[in-house]
Amino acid sequence: MTLRRHAFGFGSAVTVEHILGNSADADRYREIVHRYFNTAVFENDIKWPENYASPRPGLTEALEWLLARDIRVRGHNLIWPSWKWLPKPLRQYESDPRELRSRTYERVTQAVARHRGKLVHWDVVNEPYSERDLMDILGDDVMVEWFKLAKQADPACQMYLNDYGIFDGGPDSDHRKHFYDTIKLLKDRGAPIDGVGIQSHFGALPAPPERLLSVLDQFSEFGLPIESTELSLNMLDRELQADYMRDYLTALFSHPNVHGVMLWGFWEGRHWRPDAAMFEKDWTPRPAAHAWIDLVHKEWKTDVSVMTDDQGLARVRGFCGEYDLHVSHGRASIAASARLDRSGGHTTVALGAGA
The CATH class that applies to domain 7-299 reads alpha beta
Asked if 76 contacts 41 with a C-beta cutoff of 8 angstroms, the reply is: yes
Asked if 180 contacts 214 with a C-beta cutoff of 8 angstroms, the reply is: no
Q: So where are the chain's domains? A: 7-299, 304-355
pLDDT score at 273: 98
pLDDT score at 315: 86
The mean pLDDT of 331-350, rounded to a whole number, is: 84
Query: Which residue would you say has higher pLDDT here, 171 or 270?
Result: 270
The mean pLDDT of 24-49, rounded to a whole number, is: 98
- Contacts (Cβ under 8 Å, ≥6 apart) of 31: none
Q: Does 306 have pLDDT greater than 60?
A: yes
Asked if 241 contacts 279 with a C-beta cutoff of 8 angstroms, the reply is: no
pLDDT score at 299: 96
* pTM for the model: 0.95
* Cβ burial, residue 325 (10 Å; 0-12/13-18/19+): middle
Per-residue pLDDT reduced to its tens digit, 70-84: 999 999 999 999 999
pLDDT band, residue 354 (cuts 50/70/90):
very low
The mean pLDDT of 258-268, rounded to a whole number, is: 98
The mean pLDDT of 175-195, rounded to a whole number, is: 98
pLDDT score at 352: 64
pLDDT score at 283: 98
Pairing of strands 9-14, 258-263: parallel
Q: How far is CA 33 from CA 10, 63, 137, in A?
A: 11, 13, 41
Q: Across the chain, what does the average pLDDT equal?
A: 95
Per-residue pLDDT reduced to its tens digit, 83-96: 999 999 999 999 99
The mean pLDDT of 41-52, rounded to a whole number, is: 98
Q: Does 353 have pLDDT greater than 60?
A: no
Q: Does 235 have pLDDT greater than 60?
A: yes
Query: How many CA atoms lie within 13 Å of 214's alpha carbon, on the beta-carbon side?
Result: 12
